């Protein structure tokens, strides 16, 4: 696995890209890691040709046989877990601990959907008037186009590939240009596992818009599953509308992290470290804004601050806790958001020691005295910034929590579980961590409400996203 595959994967063959190659750079050291085939629309269409050719036989393959191949892929991912984790770290920048956790999480989607693949659901009933029987079945939707971001280069790909294949679909995948190597490595393992040619095709490339437009315009593509920013998701929904393509959208978030007066503050701090600083804050589920009850705010800030000051920021290879941001553009954006907050009266209460490496590092900070209207609260910062807003009136706090166009994840820490659940029910979010800082779980439905997306990944519903329902009305 050390010689990473760097081509366009079409029909089981590794090809050159029609646009030459593009550079993949380690965001921690700014060193060139690899040059990867740069695909264009022709390659994107060739991938659909291969996926469409493979579909009849793959969709007719026995569910158990499909499941075995998914399970085998998981075993191979675990066999190569350390190499995959190194690869994720080097192209994405995240710490090795985060990268290892991602490999396990990513591999788990193959196990979960291998188990789901052999449990097809259907219905048999009779109409209320009698005289007919109703049979309801589910079928694979067809060729699925998958588009993934850079922040979880393994898991965002497997969370789509595994259910698609379990349902009987074939796929064309475009990984993010920042992190194509991990998806290519997973695809190579799928080939080693014995997944037939053309079932999984990978099209890396810098011109994302051209590749994906080739797919949304191709009548053979019946499904578009996208994970990324709300802006691009919106644009793809418009494109998909022309052919009324079945879409799933996993988009941006702005997760609130609520701490009530009776919360276990140590548990809340532990949860905050995971919800905020896992992946250096570059997670769609990352806690973006903290609403801490006035009575416990000083203790929460002091304890969280001590943990943040102890974080090691630097390249993953040096055993750091927090790596760099993905790009200089991301860093400039976060610096703007921080400056805006400071100008509006926020104060840096605690921060880590800055990294000394040359990459796109941003020093983690805990901010207090944050005005609720500051950009750091309103926008998805995608960075290790923890802005603390204090509250006393629950209704006011809830109004602030829900005053965002996003609704992906939220976190509630409270002593009384019943009160925590009643409060959580009033938060407009698809996923709520109750006294937990982590919501991602392959067996649970991942997804958001409002402008955080449409559809769910993981759980049973994650497979249903790749199926169509058909019913037979039968004279009886
Ligand atoms: P992005 O939207 O810029 O890119 C995502 C993918 O879309 C990449 O593969 C990119 O190459 C491609 N893309 C970009 N422009 C495109 C276009 N015009 N047409 C077609 N494809 C295009 O997002 P990002 O910066 O890579 O990822 C960060 C965002 O993703 C954040 O907003 C984050 O919250 C979100 N995200 C959401 C989830 C979720 O499950 N809801 C998970 C991870 C990340």
Atom of ligand 1 nearest to the CA of 159: 40
Whether the predicted pLDDT of 2 surpasses 60: no
Q: What amino acid positions are annotated as catalytic residues?
A: 250
Phi-psi region of 90 (alpha: psi -120 to 50; beta: other; left: phi over 0): alpha
The distance from CA 169 to its chain's CA centroid, rounded to whole angstroms, is 20
The pLDDT value given to residue 276: 98
Ligand 1 atom 19 nearest Cα: 209
Rounded-to-integer distance, Cα 104 and Cα 106, Å: 5
113 CA from centroid of ligand 1 (Å): 24
Phi/psi of residue 461, nearest 5 degrees: -60, -25
Ligand 1 atom 12 nearest Cα: 208
Condensed to tens digits (0 to 9), the pLDDT of residues 365-386 reads 999 999 989 999 999 999 999 9
Name the residue of 228, 379, 453 whose CB sits within 8 Å of the most ligand 1 atoms, as the mutation to test its pocket. 228
Rounded-to-integer distance, Cα 457 and Cα 446, Å: 5
- Average pLDDT score over residue span 414-437: 98
ipTM > 0.90, yes or no:
yes
Confidence grade of residue 4 (pLDDT, cut at 50, 70, 90):
low
418 CA from centroid of ligand 1 (Å): 36
Whether the predicted pLDDT of 12 surpasses 70: yes
- Average pLDDT score over residue span 160-181: 98
The residues near 462 (Cβ < 8 Å, ≥ 6 apart) are: 113, 159, 163, 445, 446, 456
Phi/psi of residue 97, nearest 5 degrees: -60, -45
CA-to-CA dists, residue 393 to 294, 399, 445, angstroms? 10, 10, 32
CA-to-CA dists, residue 295 to 265, 276, 367, angstroms? 11, 22, 18
265 CA from centroid of ligand 1 (Å): 34
Condensed to tens digits (0 to 9), the pLDDT of residues 93-150 reads 999 999 999 999 999 999 999 999 999 789 999 999 999 999 999 999 999 999 999 9
Are 203 and 172 spatial neighbours (Cβ–Cβ below 8 Å)?
Answer: yes
Confidence grade of residue 28 (pLDDT, cut at 50, 70, 90):
very high
Ligand 1 atom 14 nearest Cα: 208
Nearest alpha-carbon partner for 177 in 296, 27, 10, 374: 27
Name the residue of 216, 232, 451 whose CB sits within 8 Å of the most ligand 1 atoms, as the mutation to test its pocket. 232
Condensed to tens digits (0 to 9), the pLDDT of residues 208-245 reads 999 999 999 999 999 999 999 999 999 999 999 999 99
Would you identify the CATH topology of the domain 4-252+451-475? Aldehyde Dehydrogenase; Chain A, domain 1 (3.40.605)
Helix (H) or strand (E) holding 83: helix 81-92
Ligand 1 atom 41 nearest Cα: 250
219 CA from centroid of ligand 1 (Å): 24
Query: What is Dmax (Cα atoms) for the chain?
Result: 77
Whether the predicted pLDDT of 443 surpasses 50: yes
422 CA from centroid of ligand 1 (Å): 33
Atom of ligand 1 nearest to the CA of 233: 2
Would you identify the CATH topology of the domain 255-403+409-442? Aldehyde Dehydrogenase; Chain A, domain 2 (3.40.309)
The pLDDT value given to residue 118: 97
Rounded-to-integer distance, Cα 87 and Cα 186, Å: 11
Indicate the domain borders of the chain: 4-252+451-475, 255-403+409-442
228 CA from centroid of ligand 1 (Å): 2
- Average pLDDT score over residue span 61-83: 98
Average pLDDT of the chain to the nearest whole number: 97
- H helices, E strands: number in the chain: 15, 20
Ligand 1 atom 39 nearest Cα: 250
Which residues have C-beta atoms less than 6 Å from ligand 1?
A: 147-151, 156, 174, 176-177, 208-209, 212, 227-229, 232, 235-236, 250-253, 284, 380, 408, 448, 453
Rounded-to-integer distance, Cα 155 and Cα 74, Å: 12
Ligand 1 atom 9 nearest Cα: 176
Whether the predicted pLDDT of 282 surpasses 90: yes
CA-to-CA dists, residue 176 to 180, 226, 319, 357, angstroms? 6, 11, 25, 24
227 CA from centroid of ligand 1 (Å): 5
Nearest alpha-carbon partner for 260 in 111, 139, 401: 401
The answer to whether the Cα torsion of 454, 456, 461, 467 is positive or negative is positive
Percent of the chain with pLDDT over 90: 98
- Average pLDDT score over residue span 445-455: 98
Condensed to tens digits (0 to 9), the pLDDT of residues 174-210 reads 999 999 999 999 999 999 999 999 999 999 999 999 9
- Average pLDDT score over residue span 357-369: 97
Name the residue of 102, 160, 210, 229 whose CB sits within 8 Å of the most ligand 1 atoms, as the mutation to test its pocket. 229
């Amino acid at each position: 696995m050390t010689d990473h595959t760097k081509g366009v994967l079409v029909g089981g063959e590794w090809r050159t890209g029609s646009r030459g190659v593009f550079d993949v750079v380690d965001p921690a050291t700014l060193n060139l890691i690899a040059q990867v085939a740069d695909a264009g629309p022709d390659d994107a269409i060739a991938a659909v040709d291969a996926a469409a050719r493979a579909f009849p036989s793959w969709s007719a393959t026995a569910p158990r046989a499909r499941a075995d191949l998914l399970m085998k892929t998981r075993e191979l991912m675990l066999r190569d877990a350390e190499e995959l984790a190194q690869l994720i770290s080097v192209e994405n920048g995240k710490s090795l601990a985060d990268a290892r956790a991602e490999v396990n999480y990513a591999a788990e989607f193959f196990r979960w959907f291998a188990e789901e693949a052999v449990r097809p659901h259907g219905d048999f009933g009779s109409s209320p008037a009698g005289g007919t029987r109703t049979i309801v079945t589910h079928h694979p939707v067809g060729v699925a186009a998958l588009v993934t971001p850079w922040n979880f280069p393994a898991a965002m790909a497997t969370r789509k590939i595994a259910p698609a294949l379990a349902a009987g679909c074939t796929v064309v995948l475009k990984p993010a240009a920042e992190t194509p190597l991990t998806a290519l490595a997973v695809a190579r393992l799928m080939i080693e596992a014995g997944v037939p040619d053309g079932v999984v095709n990978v099209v890396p490339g810098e011109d994302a818009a051209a590749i994906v437009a080739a797919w949304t315009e191709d009548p053979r593509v019946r499904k578009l599953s996208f994970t990324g920013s709300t802006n691009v998701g919106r644009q793809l929904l418009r494109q998909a509308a022309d052919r009324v393509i079945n879409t799933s959208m996993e988009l941006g978030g702005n997760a609130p992290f609520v701490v009530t007066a009776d919360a276990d503050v140590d548990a809340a701090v532990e949860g905050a470290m995971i919800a905020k600083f896992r992946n250096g804050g570059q997670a769609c589920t990352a806690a973006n804004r903290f609403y801490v009850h006035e009575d416990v705010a000083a203790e929460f800030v002091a304890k969280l601050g001590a943990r943040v000051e102890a974080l090691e920021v630097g390249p993953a290879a040096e055993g750091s806790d927090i790596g760099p941001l993905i790009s200089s553009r991301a860093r400039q954006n976060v610096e703007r958001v921080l400056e805006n907050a400071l100008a509006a009266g926020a104060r840096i209460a605690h921060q880590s020691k800055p990294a000394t490496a040359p990459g796109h590092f941003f020093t983690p900070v805990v901010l207090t005295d944050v005005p609720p209207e500051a950009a750091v609260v309103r926008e998805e910062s995608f960075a290790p910034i923890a802005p603390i807003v204090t509250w006393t009136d629950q209704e006011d706090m809830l109004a602030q929590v829900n005053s965002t166009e996003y609704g992906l994840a939220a976190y509630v820490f409270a002593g009384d579980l019943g009160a925590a659940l009643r409060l959580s029910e009033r938060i407009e979010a698809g996923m709520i961590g109750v006294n937990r800082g982590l919501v991602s779980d392959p067996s649970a439905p991942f997804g958001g409400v409002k402008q955080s997306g449409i559809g769910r990944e993981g759980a049973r519903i994650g497979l249903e996203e790749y199926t169509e329902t058909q019913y037979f009305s039968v004279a009886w």
